[in-house]
Each structure stands twice: as C-alpha cells, then as structure tokens.
Chain A
Amino acid sequence: MIPTSHYLFLSLGLFTVGVIGVVTRRNVIIILMSIELMLNAVNINLVAFSRLVGSAEGHVFAIFIITDAAAEAAVGLGIIIAFFRNRETLLGDEMDLLKW
C-alpha cells in the first residue's frame, strides 16, 4: 500500500518543476506548458486525498480544474497568436508594452 504522503511528494515535485519553468524560461509557449504541469500536479493531490477519505468530491474538483485548464489554454494560445502577429516574437521578457 502506497502512503498518501508519497502522492503529495510526487505532486510537490511536479509543481516545483512547473514553477521553475514559469520563472526561468523566456518562451511563452513553454511558460503555458509549465502552468499546465502545475495544474496537473494539483490534480494528483486532489485525487490522492479523494482516495484517502473514500469520497468522489476530489474527482469533481479535478474535473473543474481540467475545465479551467482547457479554457486557459484556449485563451492563452489565442493571446500568443495575436501577440506574435503584432510583435513577431515569442519571448516573454519582450512583452513590455506597459513598461516605460
């Protein structure tokens, strides 16, 4: 039997890798992918606790998170396409139109 804390550690590892991707990479698509990784890590946590207490509510919250991830990916990639059309770049640190 695998203790629930091992699932927590796995989720923690995936989440940390996602945070590292978000704060170190320049490519916006990789940043979006890292956000997907972080959302995924949270899902593992929810399902592990759902298994621990034997109720399906964690699964329901995981489904909501997957819905949010789909919406976020659609809007985020739409923004990336619009941005690429205007500035011809994919680098996050060149998105500085609000800076002066």
Chain B
Amino acid sequence: MLDQIVFYFFAALAVISAVLVVTRRNIVQSAIFLITALLATAGIFLQLHAEFLFIVQVILYAGGIMVLFVFVIMLINLDVSLHQVQFNRQWWLGLVLALALGAQLTVAIAVGRSGLPLGEPAPATMLEPSTELVGKVLFSEYMLPFEIASILLLVAMIGAVVMAKKKV
C-alpha cells in the first residue's frame, strides 16, 4: 500500500513537472521544474531499491548538471527571449507526430504486456546491498565500457573548454 502511494505520488510529480518544463515561457522556471522532475525520478529509483542510483541521480543530475544549466542561463541574456514566440512554426505538426509516437508505444506496451513476463518482480533481497552489487558488475563485466566512459568524459571536458573559449 505504502509502496503504491509512493510510486504514484512520484510518478504524478514527474509527469506534471515534465509538462511544465516544456510549456513554461521563462527558462529559469523550466530549469526549476526540471530539477523537480529529476528528484521525482530519484524517488522512483529509491522505490525500486536502487539506492546507489538514487544518490547518483540527486548528486550528479539534480546537483551537477542543473548547476551547469542554471550557470549558462545566467550567462546569456534572458530578457530578450522572454518576448519572443516560444513555439516554432510547425509546432502543431511536431505535436501531432510526437503524440502519434506516444500512442504507438502505448499500444505496443498494452498489447505486448501479456506476452512479456512482466508479472511478479524478483524479491527485493536479490538487489540487497545495491551499491556493492553495482560495483561488482561495473568493475568485472563492464570494465572496458567503464574505461571508455572515462575517456568520453575527458573528451567532453576538453570539448566544453574549447567551445566556451573567447575565440573559437
């Protein structure tokens, strides 16, 4: 019962703030609602017994990435963009196509639900020391992808510095 209350609360919070991110005129308000959506997702991770991902989501996503966003919003001129048209000329076409994609995926899940073994999840104790299990998998089977990810981060860091330099 408590499980369900927690899940539906965070799910509603995530969807509502996601819609607000997309529809707000002011970029700062969008950023704040994006933080809410990311924190609600963190709550769903916790409800799914993914404690390590919960902490990573809060620190890295809601902390690090959003600080980056807010910093860039501070650096650029805000007043001009407030008085511009917010949606592009073909917004209705994009909206229809996106909703069609959503409907298609809904039908796919609704139809495939009976075929997939989506029934009773494995007992929560199987993921018990979550951080330890993630560490074991990450540093044994996924060692090479882990190293590649570190190279990716290095490249992204250099790229960001080069992009933001005074003279490109």
Interface range for B = 35 or more
A63–B85 CA distance with the chains assembled, in angstroms:
37
Instruction: Return the 10 tightest CB-CB contacts between A and B, nearest first.
Output: A54-B122, A78-B163, A23-B94, A71-B156, A16-B102, A54-B126, A21-B22, A78-B160, A24-B91, A56-B133
B18 pairs with A14, CB closer than 8 A: yes
- Contacting pair B14 A14 (CB below 8 A): yes
Interface residues of B in 64-91 (CB under 8 A from A): 64-65, 68-69, 72-73, 75-77, 80-81, 84-89, 91
Please give 18 more A-B residue pairs, beta carbons under 8 A apart, in addition to A36-B34, A56-B134, A81-B163. Answer: A18-B18, A19-B102, A24-B95, A30-B21, A34-B21, A40-B41, A43-B57, A44-B41, A48-B48, A50-B50, A52-B118, A56-B133, A70-B64, A70-B153, A73-B69, A77-B160, A90-B76, A91-B81
User: Which residue of B31, B44, B106, B127 contacts A9 across the interface (Cβ within 8 Å)?
Assistant: B106
Within 8 Å by CB of A33, from B34, B145, B159, B161, lies B34
Query: When chains A and B are docked, how far (Å) is the Cα of A52 from the Cα of B31?
Result: 32
The answer to whether B109 and A34 touch across the interface, beta carbons within 8 angstroms, is no
B89 to chain A: which residues have CB within 8 Å?
Answer: 93
- Taking CB atoms, residues of chain B closer than 8 Å to A1 are 3, 120-121
| Interface magnitude class on chain A | 35 or more
Question: Which chain B residues lie closer than 8 Å to A25 at the CB level?
Answer: 22, 86-88
> Which has the most chain B C-beta neighbours within 10 Å: A2, A3, A15, A80?
A2
Do A33 and B152 touch across chains, with their CB atoms under 8 A apart? Answer: no
Q: Is the CB of A24 within 8 A of B88?
A: yes
Asked if B34 and A60 make an inter-chain contact with CB atoms under 8 angstroms apart, the answer reads: no
Known: A16-B99, A56-B137, A90-B76. A82 touches B106 (CB 8 A): no
Are B98 and A3 closer than 8 Å at their CB atoms?
no
User: B105 contacts which chain A residues (CB < 8 A)?
Assistant: 12, 15-16
In-complex Cβ contact of B138 among A27, A32, A60 (8 A): A60
User: When the two chains form the complex, which single residue of A4, A56, A84 contacts B127, counting CB atoms closer than 8 Å?
Assistant: A56
Cα(A27)–Cα(B18), bound, Å: 16
7 A-B residue pairs with Cβ-Cβ distance under 8 Å, sorted by A, are: A17-B18, A24-B88, A56-B130, A59-B53, A68-B152, A69-B61, A80-B72
In the complex, are the beta carbons of B134 and A59 less than 8 A apart? yes
How far apart are B32's CB and chain A's nearest CB, in angstroms? 11
A70–B134 alpha-carbon span in the complex (Å): 20
| Contact present for B37 and A37 (CB under 8 Å) | yes
